[in-house]
Structure 1
Amino acid sequence: MPVITDIEPITQTGDGRDSEGLYPIREVARLTGINPVTLRAWERRYGLIEPKRTESGHRLYSVTDIGTIRRVMDWLERGVTVSKVAQLLASNTACDDPQPVANEYAEWQNRISSALAAFNEPELERLYGQVFSSYPAEVVFQGVFLPLWQQLLKTRDVFGRTSEWLLLDGFLRGRVQHRLQLQAMDARQCVVVVAMPELCHELELLVAGLLLTHSDRVVRVLAIGQPLDELSLVCDRLEPQAVVLFANHALNTAQHRRLERLAQALNCSVSLAGEAANVAQEALAGSSIGCLGSEARLMNQRLDADLKATQGS
């Protein structure tokens, strides 16, 4: 889709501002990464910003407007819907207050828990669809479903919880696998995601793979139980640009050494993701192994940087 700039000739300084310190919509789009169509929608539908207008009707944005746009972006990235952001800004709610988001997620989790307790899979399917239509994938899983899945996993000693956990686990694994199958297999980059043995569950591995998918890369998630000593054979066939090892439990000394030997044996970049990566950064600081972390945005940013560095070398 072509970018609509909506700009008229105005006297500008060298940094894109006009002489009164106002920015045209093209420059605001460049500074914030939000396209002009979305900026107009935020103004017309939700009243999130109110740019000034020239005599011919073109929009000009102040530094305050740009700050508001970035606040909106922060809320959206944390999973708040656009309509709720408008309410928060109108009531002058502090942007660093996570309570509205936490309450919103808890409401979904309560409804999902009720469906699980009744073993009502059609209702579970309906709620899953509603959550996915309201939030990006990282919020759907890391904000709503996985915390509930983890809570049920930790309380499996309570009568009935194991059955509820199994229902949710099987349901989510099926939905994530389906979404992974919808990737464009002709993407120019390939990333292989594989579990460190016995350090994560299958659902956690699948979700990590899904959250690393991107329009210009295909993610191949290898099955739980994939032998690491056969990974070089798999990579010879798939020719990935990167291999991401996933673990949600800390690596011991032997596992660290195994990971380092694996990185030396593979002809591509090797990274560690998951909770294990959050605690292994210092131990792996001097190695060629990257630590992607466990949060979706951070994982993707670091993987993107790693892939760019590999291409440039």
Structure 2
Amino acid sequence: MTDTSSHPADTPLYPIREVSRLTGVNSVTLRAWERRYGLIRPQRTPKGHRLYAREDIERVERILQWLNRGVPVSQVKDLLDQPEAASAPEPASDDWQSQRRQLTAAVETLDLGRLETLFNQSLALYPVSTCLAELWQPAVRELEEHWDDQLGAHLQRLSLEAFLRTRIGTRLYHANQVSLGPTLLVTPLPEDPGPLWLLLAALAASDAGYRVQLFDGPLPFAELPLAVERLKASALLLASGRAERADLIRRQLPRLAEQLEVPLALCGPVARIRESELSDSGVALLGDDLPQAVARLRPLLRDG
């Protein structure tokens, strides 16, 4: 592990904002890895600012590799100095399963305090893409399956939507203040019962560096070209957790794609459900894995 005596005086050192840019791990997470788990130990300036050597950055990349293999952050430290052939410990997947169970239970019992803890803890310790793939997307899918025939389902949905709208909205606001990336207009399709998939898509897009302009209610299709123009959006991203009407999918979306001068993309379960009907249209189908969907969008942009 890195300490202040392990680097020659002429070793290049990087501030935390640059390490965050290079690795994609936000500064809050980097600090949590250091304070809670001792995974990295950067040098400090006389004023206490963190400085990272190239070895620290490589260590962060190795941490990400273990996390992406499903290893809980609490088990990563013991693996970092082992040979590369070391395999992920068997209990790793159980950690995410446990978190998903806690998350769905918190929503079903309206335990907002527990929900707050899980949200903050997951995003502090893991990259956003990992949190979405391993925790939030699977939990929302499971909840939506139960909500079809469960007493109190509407209350649970609205409570979760209100919670995520506030937390993700705050993150978007602060991220937009410093983002230099392209503007992405994100809005739902009309039959989506609520903005859960939309909010998670917006979080994934913001994490990928976009300036996200989010409308959590559907806009009339006739006004979407105007919204794209006035907001100077580089792309329009539509999301839905439902299949949506056949006429909207087969006629209105392809027509809208022809009217826009920027890419029109579709994500969430609707993109998977309606894939065969839109495969030959001008609508970009990004799938329902949201971090992957946002990654697929970038090459479609004119400046991508």
The alignment's TM-score, normalised by the length of structure 2, stands at 0.67
- Following superposition, the deviation at residue 118 of structure 1 comes to 5.4
Q: Is the 8 A contact 1:81 1:135 kept in 2?
A: no
Matched, 1:134 2:128: no
In the other structure, the counterpart of 1:302 is 296
Q: Is the 8 A contact 2:243 2:269 kept in 1?
A: yes
CA 1:69–1:213 in 2, change beyond 3 Å: closer, same or farther? Answer: closer
In the other structure, the counterpart of 1:180 is 172
- 2 CA distance for matches of 1:269 and 1:150? 27
CA 1:295–1:267 in 2, change beyond 3 Å: closer, same or farther? Answer: same
Please tell me whether Structure 1 or Structure 2 has the larger radius of gyration of its CA atoms. Answer: 1
Question: For residue 124 of structure 2, what is the amino acid of its counterpart?
Answer: S
In the other structure, the counterpart of 2:200 is 207
Matched, 1:167 2:154: no
SS in 2 for 1:293: coil
CA 1:131–1:197 in 2, change beyond 3 Å: closer, same or farther? Answer: same
Please, which runs of 5 or more residues in structure 2 have no aligned partner?
A: 1-6, 9-21, 25-29, 41-53
Q: Is the 8 A contact 1:247 1:275 kept in 2?
A: yes
Which runs of structure 2 are paired with 1:265-280 in the superposition (5 Å)?
Answer: 265-280=259-274
In the other structure, the counterpart of 1:103 is 94
In the other structure, the counterpart of 1:20 is none
Alignment counterpart, residue 227 of structure 1, candidates 220, 225, 228: 220
Question: For residue 183 of structure 1, what is the amino acid of its counterpart?
Answer: A
Which runs of structure 2 are paired with 1:1-313 in the superposition (5 Å)?
Answer: 73-77=64-68, 80-87=71-78, 94=87, 100-113=91-104, 115-116=106-107, 119-156=110-147, 157-159=149-151, 162-185=154-177, 187-199=180-192, 201-214=194-207, 216-250=209-243, 253-254=246-247, 255-307=249-301, 310-311=302-303
Q: Is the 8 A contact 2:72 2:95 kept in 1?
A: no
CA 1:297–1:102 in 2, change beyond 3 Å: closer, same or farther? Answer: same
- 2 CA distance for matches of 1:294 and 1:175? 22
Question: For residue 204 of structure 1, what is the amino acid of its counterpart?
Answer: W
Percent identity (aligned): 26
- Following superposition, the deviation at residue 104 of structure 1 comes to 0.9
- 2 CA distance for matches of 1:69 and 1:223? 35
Which 10-residue stretch deviates more, 150-159 or 177-186? 150-159
SS in 2 for 1:191: strand
- 1 CA distance for matches of 2:162 and 2:136? 13
SS in 1 for 2:176: coil
1:224-282 CA-to-partner distances (Å, cap 9, x unmatched) read: 23111211121221121111122333356422221111011112121121222235455
| Displaced runs of 4 or more, over 6 A | 68-71
In the other structure, the counterpart of 2:46 is none
- 2 CA distance for matches of 1:224 and 1:194? 7
CA 1:94–1:221 in 2, change beyond 3 Å: closer, same or farther? Answer: same
In the other structure, the counterpart of 1:14 is none
Which 10-residue stretch deviates more, 83-92 or 139-148? 83-92
Which 10-residue stretch deviates more, 71-80 or 84-93? 84-93
Question: For residue 281 of structure 2, what is the amino acid of its counterpart?
Answer: S
- 2 CA distance for matches of 1:114 and 1:270? 36
CA 1:251–1:122 in 2, change beyond 3 Å: closer, same or farther? Answer: closer
Q: Higher relative CO (CA 8 A, sep ≥ 6), structure 1 or 2?
A: 2
- Following superposition, the deviation at residue 85 of structure 1 comes to 3.7
Please, which runs of 5 or more residues in structure 1 have no aligned partner?
A: 1-5, 8-32, 48-58, 61-65
